[in-house]
């Protein structure tokens, strides 16, 4: 498995030790938005859980959670770049509004 850290907002390959140190010391949150009982969270995960399925590593993840305790609702999107991750977060908010009628 290939690991990555962010340097100047760009994913950079690294070894697992470097990743673990970086991962534990940095905030990986890109965006977090609470709307009613829902939470939209976009984070840098730093590794590609499906690396064998595509050529471009999907290192950012957006999920929607609901309730207390928070539980995923099955909405998960992944992408390769910080710019797309920010767009993906906004897409999740639009999903809440259009598909679930939240807002």
Model pLDDT for residues 13-40, shown as the tens digit of each residue: 999 999 999 989 988 999 999 999 999 9
Q: Whose CA is closest to 92, among 69, 50, 60, 57?
A: 60
Q: What percent of the chain has pLDDT over 70?
A: 93
Per-domain boundaries in the chain: 29-100
Model pLDDT for residues 35-56, shown as the tens digit of each residue: 999 999 999 999 876 665 667 8
d(CA 74, CA 27): 24
Model pLDDT for residues 61-82, shown as the tens digit of each residue: 999 999 888 899 999 999 999 9
Give the pLDDT score at 91: 97
CB atoms inside a 10 Å sphere around CB 26: 12
Contact 46, 19 (CB under 8 A): yes
């Amino acid at each position: 498995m290939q690991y990555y850290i962010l340097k100047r907002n760009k994913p950079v390959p690294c070894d697992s030790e470097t990743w673990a140190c970086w991962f534990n010391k940095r905030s990986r949150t890109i965006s977090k938005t609470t709307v009613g009982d829902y939470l939209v969270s976009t984070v840098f995960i730093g590794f590609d859980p499906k690396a064998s399925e595509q050529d471009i590593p999907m290192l950012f993840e957006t999920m929607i959670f609901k309730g207390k305790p928070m539980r995923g609702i099955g909405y998960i999107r992944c992408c390769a770049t910080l710019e797309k991750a920010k767009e993906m977060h906004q897409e999740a908010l639009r999903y809440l509004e259009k598909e679930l009628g939240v807002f």
